[in-house]
Amino acid sequence: MFRSFLRAVLFATLLLGTLIGCAATQRIPRPSNHPGDLAYTTTDGDHQEIFMLNLDTQKTLNLINKPSDNIWPSWSPDGSQLAFTSSRANNLDVYILEIKTETLRNLTQQNTTDDGWPDWSPDGKQIVFASNRTEHYDIYVMDTNGQNQRNLTNTPSDEGTPVWSTDGKKIAFSTNRNGNWEIFWMNADGSNPVNLTNHGANDNLPSFSPDGTKLAFVSDRDKTTEIYVLELASGKLTNLTNNPALDEYPAWSPDGTKIAFASDRGGKRNLYSMNADGSTVIPLTDDVFDNWKPVWRP
């Protein structure tokens, strides 16, 4: 179902969930310190959909509801729009959904190549994404109307999972330019790429803390897939999950006190929350669906 984009730029074990049939959704009561909305990707029958979970009411809403693969949600800084990737035009394109009006726009409109993993700039004026419109996957940026699309990396390796830093000056991304998957960051214009992880293991799925001082990411350096946090100033690295299960897709809460993530520690891949130091893990969903890529609404 997912096209070559997934296989090329991400860990196959991180991104390819098992498709399963529909069943009744169960929700777990949450404490009062988990407010707000969480968008995420879920298996819905034979395709992928993007749902929104209200952590106050525990109600869910299918935001896309289209018989195609709709994946990788990213909120606009003001929370009024959702960028995501969809296969509704057969290839993968980047779309924007205006939540209030339900207006949908295809930003990339590529007929033969795949574009995906969008992330908004902090000022809301640009979107960074990955594309295989060359012979490999590079990091591109465009205006939020789809104009001025330009290649920032243009290397013979594969790059993916781009995210903006909180101040908009940097873009972190995953790349296999050194053989294994590493996390680099570069200036927002594509200059001065620097290896942040520099380890022989596979590191992927970067996520900046709201204050810009830390970077959460996923690594298999301890032989299992764990979520780590890197303090950017000191280089201090902390394993937050330290669990034999597959833990992935870290997403910081807007106030920086919590991290949502996906894990199969309960048998199925569901969403969890933990404090920013890794303590107090709380389940957010308890579905027979495969839930992944959570992102908190600003």
Q: What is the pLDDT along the chain (298 residues), one digit of tens a residue?
A: 334 434 333 333 333 332 222 333 343 343 344 568 999 999 877 789 999 999 988 899 999 888 889 999 999 999 999 999 999 988 999 999 999 999 999 999 988 899 999 999 999 999 999 999 998 999 999 999 999 999 999 999 999 999 999 999 999 999 999 999 999 999 999 999 999 999 999 999 999 999 999 999 999 999 999 999 999 999 999 999 999 999 999 999 999 999 999 999 999 999 999 999 999 999 999 988 899 999 999 9
Paired residues of 296 in beta bridges? 38
Domains in the chain (CATH in brackets) are 4-296 (2.120.10.30)
Write the CB contacts of 3 (distance below 8 Å, at least 6 apart in sequence): 87, 91, 92, 114
Write the CB contacts of 31 (distance below 8 Å, at least 6 apart in sequence): 282
Alpha-carbon distance 22 to 42, whole Å?
A: 11
Write the CB contacts of 146 (distance below 8 Å, at least 6 apart in sequence): 105, 106, 107, 108, 109
Alpha-carbon distance 142 to 151, whole Å?
A: 9
CA-based nearest residue to 291, from 245, 249, 241:
249
What's the whole-model pTM score?
Answer: 0.89
